Every structure is written in C-alpha cells, then in structure tokens.
Structure 1
Amino acid sequence: MDIDASSWQGKIAAGVDEAGRGPLAGAVFAAAVILDPANPIVGLADSKKLSEKQRDALAPIIKAKALAWSVASASVEEIDKINILQATLLAMKRAVDELSLQPDIALVDGNQPPSLRCQVLTIVKGDSKVAAISAASILAKTARDADLLQLAKVYPGYAFEQHKGYGTALHLQRLTELGPCPAHRRSFGPVKKLLDNV
C-alpha cells in the first residue's frame, strides 16, 4: 500500500470500483463499500487477481462486515446512448447514492471522477492499494458475473457463461454465427461492424 491515507483519516470513506467496461455485452456494474475499521476483512485484493471461487467466498463476507455497501449498474441502452465511460461514471454515482450511509469522501479506482455529492479522490490502481476499493471491485465483479449467467439463460448459444461477454474468439465466433442479441452493446466495434454489414 503506497497510498497516503491521511487525506481521509477520520472521515467516512467509500471505496468505489466498476466491472465490465470492456465486454461486448451486458450492463456495466459499479459498487461502493464503506468498510468497518473495527471489523477488518482478511483476503481483500483486486478482484482481477482473485479466482472466481475466492471472489464468491469474499462477497458475502464483505456484505456482512461492511458498514454499508451498494451495487448499481448502467444498462446496455445507456452505454450505447452516452458511451461506456459516461455509463461507468453513472453506475458509480448510482452506487454511492444508494449507500445507506453517505460518505464524506469517495475513493474511486482509476483517474476519472464521477460527479458525486461528496469529495472524490481518484486513485490509479486503487483496487490493489485501498482495501475499500478492493471490496468494491469484488462486489461489482461478482454482481456482473451473476448477471451474465442470467443472460446466458435468456440468450443461449452465445456462451455468456464462459466468456462473460468479453470479446474472446469463442464469443466473436458465436456473434458472427448468430448475430447480435439485445444484450450486445451496439456501439462497440465488433458488434457495430456486424450490424453495419447486415
């Protein structure tokens, strides 16, 4: 941890992170978590560095031990309408707004600050530096993965349960064979290209 935590000492701080900016399908998710300093959680790390099993085990612990937590999303339609960056910031704003305890400061992973009622501090690679952001990354990732498993049932054939919407060779193959479904982001290159060729 090479972050100077003095800027939020004594304040109610919410960690904020997103999941699903890069995929070709599904909503983008964000989570906000206010950890309890008196009730630390062992094993928090950037969700990308944890296995699915580790994330699934940590998510309910975070929800049980945190002072407050919230998960929100921005839809495929919103992503296509306002672009993925703005949709991500919107999901982050929704997550913070929905917290049962309003923070004094939001510690946001990355370098793009969402528009919030509280103070905002962006931290590049924050999900591996700040425990509250790590917790948010885990909740956002597990929520998004669960959503993609539901999409796999609604739109069988695309193998969403395997690639979670990312542009893998398998996903691109199925996309070419079946064409885009309503869960696909029409503003994203590979999907847009297929639609333009119809």
Structure 2
Amino acid sequence: MLKRFIPVVALVAINLAYVGDSAAQGREDFDKPIQINADRDSFDVANKVAVFENNVVIRQGSLSIRADHLEVTRRDDQSDVFTAKGSPAIYEQMLDDGSPISAEADIISYDQNKQLLTLSGNVKVSQDNSVIQGSEIIYNFATQQLTANRGENESDRVTTIFMPKKKGDNQNEPINR
C-alpha cells in the first residue's frame, strides 16, 4: 500500500515541470501544454524569474494546482525551480486508471536539476481514501526515495492512514487454482 503513495507525491513534482522520461501515471498530461492563470504576473528577465500572484491556477491536462503565489526561477544550466505557496497550495490530478489523487501543503517546491520535490508545512497527500500527513515530505526522483518528517515540536508526528480494502476489490486476494 505504501507504494501507492510514492507515485502520488512524484506526480506533484513531475507535473510542476515537464520531465521528459517520466514513468508515472498520468503521463498523458505531460504532452499537454502548461497554462498558468493568475490575477497578476511579472517577469524579471535579467534574473530569469517569473512570478504569478493571486488566484494562481496551473493546468496541464487533468492536472490542476491552485496557489496564492508561484515563482519559477531559471538557472544558468536551463533547469527550473518551481515554488508554489498557498494556504494551502492544492494539487489534483486524475491518474490513468481514473482514480483521483490530491496533495496540499503550504509550500510545494520542485528543483528540476536535483530532481527533488519538497512539500512543506501542513502536508497532506491523499489517494483512494488513504492519507499521509506530516510537516515535510521530500521525494528524490533520482534515488526514488520518500522521506516524511515531523515538525519541530516534540508532539508533532508523521501520520499514515491505510484504509481497509473495499469489498469486491480482489486485487490483493490470493488466487485459488
């Protein structure tokens, strides 16, 4: 069941910026154009920074990200860093199998060069009624490793909730021969 959450988090990062050879579900969306709508945008061409503010909506196929603020920074190596902020920033997408996934966090950041996704502040990732929550979730595409961290307070914890298998879902039932 935990393997189901890794693609959820990975999709958030992959879809913030098009990454050519991704193998995640929802890949049909990667061929679609990225459209960003906002109440205001500004571009600092000299410093290679684009800023989108207020009611920011990013769409790419079935993918949707809503945020209060989005900053895209282009590095000298032509890789980008995407940082979406909100109260919370919300990600939603339909997977290839038709199931929805969603994630929310105060900050969703994707470093294209390092292949590192960081969700921070009140993080919640949901798929099929199962949830993982924490203060920070980091997914490294290069190593395919996910780390969930608690906050700075001793009482903070990482919580993962696995929902029981629904009746009629015999995907994990043994096969009798």
Q: Normalised by the shorter chain, which TM-score bucket?
A: under 0.3
For normalisation by structure 1, the TM-score amounts to 0.23
The structure whose RCO (Cα within 8 Å, separation 6+) is larger is: 1
Please report the TM-score for the alignment, with normalisation by the length of structure 2.
Answer: 0.25
